[in-house]
């Protein structure tokens, strides 16, 4: 999820979308103001309600979601994680040429997040900050991470092609950016830990011993590293394709 990935998504989406203007102009019928559609893209799968005010403006209300579990590595720690995309948007489209091309702006309720967990059951090493730690088989060392991908409310700007007002079957392409803000990261440790270099001395995670306080400092360092690695997600790329029906 780096800037290069974001740019690649947007560039690919734009190339795909260049094929849509002619499709979007098909099957025009008069007095078709309401529409419903399905879409898929970087916000997940979604459903969209559409209302056309006139040849130049229309409004869209949409809901998007997607859930995916996988394993990933971040800063030397292997996590079992889950991507949970959840957003609701209200958008206004402006068609400057009263045709298929449109500019869009609006606001989203942003619930996108990534959660992950890593654990050491004795032999597995967890690199936390500048130290390597191991847990125990009876009380494993566990790390639970939650990455909220920005604030709960996010603005949106984009452009695309879709049916002009009065269309019957609708085909659409859209590209834009969600101004989600900096990710909010939490990382919590639980269980029993020990330095990999001295596994016989156990550390009570959450205690007040010098070793426990040093572990917490390393956890804080891990959070800062994650924050830096994911800082480019304050602007989230949005690319989508969709179809629907206006009635």
Q: DSSP string spanning 20-60?
A: HHHHHT-SB-TT--EEEEEEEETTEEEEEEEEE-SSSEEEE
Per-residue pLDDT 10s for the chain (247 aa) are 334 334 443 443 333 333 333 333 333 334 578 899 999 999 999 999 999 999 899 999 999 999 999 887 766 677 888 999 999 999 999 999 988 899 999 999 999 999 989 888 877 788 888 888 888 878 888 889 999 998 899 999 999 998 755 568 889 999 999 999 989 999 998 888 888 888 888 888 878 888 889 999 999 998 988 888 888 888 999 999 999 998 8
Both tokens of residue 41? 């893209």
Q: Count how many Cα atoms sit within 13 Å of the Cα of residue 178 in the half-sphere of its side chain.
A: 30
pTM over 0.85: no
| CA distances (Å), origin 164, targets 14, 53, 81, 240 | 19, 11, 41, 18
- Beta-carbon contacts of 5 under 8 Å, excluding residues fewer than 6 positions away, are none
Q: Which fold has domain 3-239?
A: Porin (2.40.160)
- Segments making up each domain of the chain, as ranges: 3-239
- Beta-carbon contacts of 210 under 8 Å, excluding residues fewer than 6 positions away, are none
């Amino acid at each position: 999820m780096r800037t290069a990935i974001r740019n690649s998504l947007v560039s690919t989406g734009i190339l795909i979308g260049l094929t849509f203007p002619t499709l979007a102009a098909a099957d025009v019928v008069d007095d078709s103001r309401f529409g419903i559609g399905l879409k898929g893209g970087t916000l997940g799968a979604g459903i969209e309600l559409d209302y056309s005010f006139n040849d130049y403006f229309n409004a869209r209300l949409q809901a998007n979601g997607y859930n995916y579990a996988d394993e990933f590595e971040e800063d030397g720690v292997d996590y079992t994680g889950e991507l949970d995309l959840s957003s609701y948007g209200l958008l206004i489209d402006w068609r400057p040429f009263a045709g298929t091309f449109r500019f869009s702006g609006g606001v989203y309720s942003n619930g996108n997040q990534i959660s992950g967990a890593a654990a050491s059951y004795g032999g597995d090493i967890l690199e936390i900050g500048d130290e390597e730690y191991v847990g125990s088989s009876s009380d494993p060392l566990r790390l639970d991470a939650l990455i909220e991908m920005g604030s709960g409310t996010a603005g949106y700007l984009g452009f695309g092609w879709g049916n002009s007002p009065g269309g019957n079957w609708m085909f659409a392409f859209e590209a834009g950016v969600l101004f989600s803000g900096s990710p909010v990261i939490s990382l919590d440790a639980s269980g029993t830990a020990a330095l990999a270099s001295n596994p016989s001395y156990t550390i009570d995670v959450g205690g007040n011993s010098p070793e426990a306080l040093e572990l917490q400092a390393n956890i804080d360092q891990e959070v800062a590293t994650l924050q830096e690695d994911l800082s480019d997600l304050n602007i989230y790329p949005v690319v989508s394709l969709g179809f629907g029906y206006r009635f």
